[in-house]
Every structure is written in structure tokens, then in C-alpha cells.
Amino acid sequence: MRVREFPKKDLIDYKDVAGNATVERILTKAEKLKGLRIVHVNATSFGGGVAELLYTLVPLMRSVGIDAQWEVLEAPNDFFVITKKFHNMLQGAEIELTEKEWSYYLKVNEENAKKLNLDADVLIIHDPQPAAIPLYLDTKAKLVWRCHIDLSNPFKEFWRRFKELLAPYEKLLFHLEEYFPKEFSDKAVQFPPSIDPFSDKNKELNRSDIDSVIERFGIDKNKPLMTVVARFDPWKDLFSSIDVYRKVKEKIDVQLAIVSAMASDDPEGWIFFEKVLRYAGVDEDVKFLTNLIGVGSLEVNAIQRASTIGLHTATREGFGLVISEMMWKGNPVVARPAGGVKIQIDDGENGFLRWEVNDLADVSIELIKNENLKKEMGMKAKEKVRRDFLSTSHLERYIDVILSVIEK
């Protein structure tokens, strides 16, 4: 299934936020790729960070002359139940996978290899769901696998099988060098993702629009707001977010917003949604704000801009773009130093990194009480994102990788 509707994007429009020199450098590199056909393949066109990245990346690639396309897997829910196991095992969970489930995974990949339009000069496959597609292709396309999850400590029994799928790829892209599998270190590339400063989720909003959104969802603008944006996933540990909030609540009258999108490729999310909901109980200051009640990108933007601080308690995190999104709004984030979180937050400079609930609560209280510290850290947080994690940096990283595979 091809994704056909894209927002209008032009690299030239990013000069004011990224700098003229950056834009000119990217345009010069892209000259060598004009007319080249690039096809991205992923699991879903909605929900989760990968889809959001591609909605910006594909039109930006087109704006510099690349023939960029985006194909989405066609698969029933049973397939995504299995690939959620893949996701968890690649992040270290020791789960049983049956031969029947493995065979079904391969079968769906084979079917998609025939269904999707994969005629390309460079084929970029995202994450485990479509990773087996190249096994069933007769193509001269250069193959790139983009991994968006923490692969630092995969379940060894599963990894022995899954890694065979990666043999045909010429480049493997990971958020961090610590995720590089030793077997593939020669073709692995550190490749952090990005946010789009002009997307509905990140663009500037006026105060009246922000107030309108938070009023609609029952948020008190006169009371400090801690916000965590995360999928309902065991690795996100939203139970700890609630625990941190409760510790802070003992000292300061605060609110907690738990903001999430229920993604079509994550059936497990519904189970954890119910568990977290029950854990929170009937506390009116804990707000569950999801797409199920009309929370879209603009609403997430407004809620983040209305927040006092960001909170992130994931125990495993491939990167955590939601942190850069919060930082871009000039808010410091208090988080666990898991995975890619560590390269976004500089502890004590633009936010705080702590593992334990009590420690996370302590630094949250410090930020909420000290307005000057919060503002100073917030300014540094925004500048860090401007320098390293905007769409322009992401586009340039892709151009560099594509150049490296076609020039071989």
C-alpha cells in the first residue's frame, strides 16, 4: 500500500531555523541524487515515530530532486501480534516464538514483496516487520535496513535467527553506536532521528490556541503540569511516571498528562492502556489524552507547550523523539538515561537524568519550584534540538548514506 498524501515541504523553508549554510550544503550533496528512486517500507502509515518521520522525510527528499516513495505493509492483526514479540525480543525480552509464528511472518513478507511497488535504486526497510522482504525480491536495488529500536542486548536465541535476515543489506542504521551488532559493525551507521519544526506537532502556536486545547481536556492552566508522551508499552513504564507524579504531588499540587496514540501495528498497546488506567485510579489530576478522544498532533503540541516540565520513565528506549519534541518547546525533561535519551539530555544542563523514582521526583520538584532554572535549562534544551535533531540533519544523514551505497 502506497502512502499518497503528504504535507508540502521545501528544504528552502528551513533556512531560518537550520541556517543557510546547512541548507546550501544539503542541496549541493543532493545534486548527485537527482532522479534517483528511493522507496521506504514500514509497518504502518499512522501512529508511532517512524510514520511521523516519513511524513516529513519523503516530501523533503522530493524537494531536493529525489524520487522518494513510501510503501506500507499489508498485513492482518495476527501478523502485528507476532512482530510485537519481535520488537520485545530484540530489546531483550525472553519470549517463546513458535515455528508457526516464524513461518507466518515470512509468508506475510513474501506476499508483500509481490504486492508492493518496490522498484527502486535504493530500498530502505524500517524495523523488523518488513525486514524479510528482500529475501523474496529479484532486484538490483541497494538495500538499507533502518532500526528504530534498542538493539544493545537482544534475546540471543531469537537474534541468531533474525540476524540472518540482515545479510543482504549493505547498510544498517541505528540510533546509537552502542546498538551496533558486532557481526555487522562494518556496515552499521549511527543515525539518530529528528523532529520537524514545521509539523503540526512542533510548529509555533499562539497562547489562545494553547489555552483552548488544555481547557477542552480539563487541564488547569494555573496548576503545574508534568507531561509524559509515550505509547502504552511495557518498556515505557508508565507506572513509574505515575509514581513520580505521586511523589511530587506530596510536595506540590501538580497535574500529570499521559499523552499517547494507539497505533495500528501495536495490539499489545490496548492491554497496557487498561493496566495503566487502572493503576492511576480515579485521580482527577491524572489526564489520559489519546487519539481516542481527539488528541492529534496539534493537541500534543499545545499540551507540551502548556507543560511545566517533561517526564520520561522508559526503561528501554530506541531514541525517544518525544523528548526532542518537548525540548523544542523550551521545556527541560526529567528522564531515565535509557538508550537514545542520553544523547538528547545533557544531565544538569538542559534536563535531568535519573533512574530511581525518588530521584526523578526530587529533580522534578527542583525544576517546578525554581522558575529561573527551568527557563535556563529550557533555552539550552531548544538549542540542542536546533543543532542536532531537526529534519534537516536527518535528511542530510540519509543523503550521506545513499551516496555511500550508490558510489560503491
- Asked if the model's pLDDT at residue 266 lies above 70, the reply is no
Cβ-based neighbour number of residue 321 at 10 Å: 25
Tens-digit pLDDT profile for residues 369-389:
999 999 999 999 999 999 899
d(CA 194, CA 56): 10
Cβ-based neighbour number of residue 128 at 10 Å: 24
What local confidence, expressed as pLDDT, does residue 214 receive?
A: 96
Tens-digit pLDDT profile for residues 286-295:
999 999 899 9
Helices (H), 229-370: 238-249, 268-280, 297-306, 321-328, 357-369
Distances (CA, A) of 121 to 23, 53, 132, 136, 353: 24, 21, 18, 17, 42
Tens-digit pLDDT profile for residues 102-119:
999 999 999 999 999 999
**357-382 burial, b for 16+ CB within 10 Å, e for fewer?**
bebbbbbbbebbeeeeebeebbebbb
Tens-digit pLDDT profile for residues 149-205:
889 999 999 999 999 999 999 999 999 999 999 999 999 999 999 999 999 999 999
Q: What is the mean pLDDT of the segment spanning 129-139?
A: 97
Sequence-separated (6 or more) residues with CB below 8 Å from residue 404: 171
Cβ–Cβ < 8 Å for 76, 105: no
What local confidence, expressed as pLDDT, does residue 318 receive?
A: 81
Cell 507547550, residue?
305
* Domains of the chain and any CATH numbers: 11-194+390-406 (3.40.50.2000), 207-388 (3.40.50.2000)
What local confidence, expressed as pLDDT, does residue 263 receive?
A: 66
d(CA 305, CA 291): 18
Helices (H), 116-237: 156-162, 207-216
From 132, 180, 189, select the one nearest 400 (Cα to Cα).
Answer: 189
Sequence-separated (6 or more) residues with CB below 8 Å from residue 121: 36, 37, 38, 141, 142, 406
Tens-digit pLDDT profile for residues 12-61:
999 999 989 999 999 999 999 999 999 999 998 876 678 888 999 999 99
Tens-digit pLDDT profile for residues 217-229:
999 999 999 999 9
Query: Phi and psi at residue 34, in whole multiples of 5°?
Result: -60, 130
C-alpha cell at 329: 518547546
